[in-house]
Amino acid sequence: MSTLILILITGVGLGALYFLVASGLSLIYGLMHVLNFAHGAFLTFGAFLGFEIARRIGSDTWWAFAASVVIGGVVGALFATLTELALIRPLYERHIEQVLVTVGLALAAVALFEGIWGSDPIYISAPAWMNETTSVFGAQVPNTYWVLMAAATALLISLVVFLRFTRFGMIIRAGVENRKMVTALGIDVRKAFTLVFAIGGSAAGVGGVLASHYTGYVSAHLGSTLLIFAFIVTVIGGLGSLTGAAIASVLVAVLQQFANYYLGGTGDLIVVVALAAVLLVRPAGLLGRTA
């Protein structure tokens, strides 16, 4: 029984990590129809600079952890904003060019990170509590998973509140539906779209810092690895649906954990099979809009 509970809770925690990464992808595509393959670079850069800040403060303290999360979010937002202004804005509605540019940026970013920090993983330390476990009906759950779940829940609530109840959120949703009309009203939709990119990049930066604590290290390829699962989650949940991404994140991660334990480490294979099944049965995803 304790094993079942442990697999289930760690699956939900891993799903929370997937959502932290996938939320930015889903948000940017859903509101701007941009498939951003450089999203993993935002994550990795945030993780590296968060690590640098924590190392200088004292990486095993809560102050250092909090500072690294904040810095990761800020760095991710700035990187995403610059990317949107310099590379994406001239290419709206030109999807092939967007893919080529963001893929090129992702490859260049990995090379840059390797040139600065090296190609080997850099192992990190965390506050003592995060290295401990909490007993849940006999299952010893690592505390890192609780942090991931809390962060993902806070992010989902914040994004929903922002999009539904703030002025910028209403402008963004209106701009997506009818950009020309909103522009005719004297509203600069471009600023709102840049803000969407910044929010998505910030989520990725925070996710990068937390991902480094989940894995225990930071490396130039951290974002590339997680980006694969983020895309899978985004497609299964439905492109552009935050709620779908949240549900799919948990389903995919729990399925992956169970398959790894009971089916001889075949979690990644089972996830790919699940992706294929969803695409065959419901191409729009669980909560995506059908044409």
> Residue 162 in contact with residue 176, Cβ under 8 Å?
no
User: What is the chain written as a DSSP string?
Assistant: -HHHHHHHHHHHHHHHHHHHHHHHHHHHHHHH----TTHHHHHHHHHHHHHHHHHHH-TTSHHHHHHHHHHHHHHHHHHHHHHIIIIIGGGTT-HHHHHHHHHHHHHHHHHHHHHHH-SS-EE----GGGGSEEEETTEEEEHHHHHHHHHHHHHHHHHHHHHHHSHHHHHHHHHHH-HHHHHHTT--HHHHHHHHHHHHHHHHHHHHHHHHHHHSEE-TTHHHHHHHHHHHHHHHH-TT-HHHHHHHHHHHHHHHHHHHHHTTS-HHHHHHHHHHHHHHH-TT-SSPPP-
* Dist. CA 254–CA 245, nearest whole Å: 14
Domain covering 2-281 in this structure, CATH number: 1.10.3470
Instruction: Report pLDDT for 176.
Output: 60
> Residue 125 in contact with residue 59, Cβ under 8 Å?
yes
Residue 125: CB partners within 8 Å, gap ≥ 6? 59, 60
Q: Which two tokens stand for residue 173?
A: 């949703």
Instruction: Report pLDDT for 144.
Output: 94
Instruction: Report pLDDT for 58.
Output: 74
Instruction: Report pLDDT for 201.
Output: 93
Instruction: Report pLDDT for 167.
Output: 80
The partner residues of 218 in beta bridges, in order of sequence, read: 122
Instruction: Report pLDDT for 102.
Output: 93
Q: Which two tokens stand for residue 92?
A: 């709206």
- Residue-level pLDDT, tens digit, the chain, 291 residues: 788 999 999 999 999 999 999 988 888 887 777 888 999 999 999 999 999 999 888 767 888 899 999 999 999 999 999 999 998 888 877 888 888 999 999 999 999 999 999 999 999 988 888 889 999 988 899 999 999 999 999 999 998 898 888 887 777 767 666 667 766 767 777 787 888 889 999 999 999 999 999 999 999 999 998 999 999 999 999 877 888 999 999 999 999 999 999 988 899 999 999 999 999 999 888 887 655
Decide: pTM greater than 0.75. yes
> Residue 42 in contact with residue 24, Cβ under 8 Å?
yes
Tell me which amino acid residue 157 is: I
